[in-house]
Each structure stands twice: as C-alpha cells, then as structure tokens.
Amino acid sequence: MTVHSDQPFDPDNDTRGPGVRVPPPVMVAGSVLSGIGLDLIIPLALSPLVFWPGLILMALAALLALACAWQFFRARTHIEPWQPTSRIIVSGVYRFSRNPIYLAMFVFQIGLGLWLANGWVVLCGSLTLRLLSYFVIRREETYLLAKFGDEYLAYTQQVRRWF
C-alpha cells in the first residue's frame, strides 16, 4: 500500500508522515479570510447578541486544542500532520473523536464568526470542514491505516470522525 507517493510505504521506516501539504490552520485562516472578503462585498451581519456565545465557543475550542496538544506531548509523537507519527492516541478526548483538533478549529471559526457578527465567516465553516476532510483527514486516515493496520481500523470502528 502506498501513502500519497510514488514510492511504497514502509511503516517501519516512516519518515514522510501522511503527506499533508498545507497546514490545517492555514486552511482555516483562508476560509475565515474568504468570509471576511465576502462580507466586504455583500454584508451578512449577525445580531450583536451573538458576541458572547462566540467568545465562549472560541474559548472552548482553544481549551479543546490545548487538551489535544497536551495528549500529543504526553504520547511523544508529532502533532503536525505532515510529520510521521509514532502511535495512535486513543485516550482523553480521542476516546470521543478521531479529529478533535480539527473539530476545535471548526468551532473556533464558528465562534469567531459569531464574535465578529459576520455571517459569512460562520457559513464558510462548511468550507473549512470540506478542506480538512478532503486534504487532511483523508490523507491521515490512509496513512494511519497503512502504518498501524488493524489497530487503527479497530479504533475507527469504535470512535467517530468528528463527534
């Protein structure tokens, strides 16, 4: 089995990782900037009442991301999706979601859109989900299945992708 390369994948000599080319935060930033740009062309303002719920969502998303980062640190494996991983994390928030960091990024974007009262930033959250699913998660899952085989397959059958 190959992992997004012309050369065969050797799980015992993994130096490439899943082959993610664009960092996920850059994808999210592009989606947010698209929403801000759309708002300059066709304003889609939200009620100022969504300011505090937006702030709360951003704080929750930041806490979730920090919890995930802590798990990667404790497991002594790379958090960056373009680096090789040494193990599958299945504890903590990873018992409930296979992609809690990407979920945190999405929730942060929704919170940011609410905080800014910018409907386009909120609506562009669907773009974020599609970008992350297609360009990141798909590659990561192929990679993890090739590297960890049945162990990862069992994990995917027990834990949902998002929540």
HSE value, Cβ hemisphere, 13 Å, CA-based, for 61: 17
pLDDT at position 7: 54
pLDDT at position 17: 80
Q: What is the 3-state secondary structure (H, E, C) of 1-66?
A: CCCCCCCCCCHHHCCCCCCCCCCHHHHHHHHHHHHHHHHHHCCCECCHHHHHHHHHHHHHHHHHHH
Q: What is the model's pTM?
A: 0.89
Fill in the DSSP letter of residue 88: -
Q: How far apart are CA 22 and CA 44, in angstroms?
A: 29
Question: What is the residue extent of each domain of the chain?
Answer: 47-158
Q: Quick one: pLDDT band at residue 82, thresholds 50, 70, 90?
A: confident
Q: Quick one: pLDDT band at residue 53, thresholds 50, 70, 90?
A: very high
Q: How far apart are CA 159 and CA 163, in angstroms?
A: 8
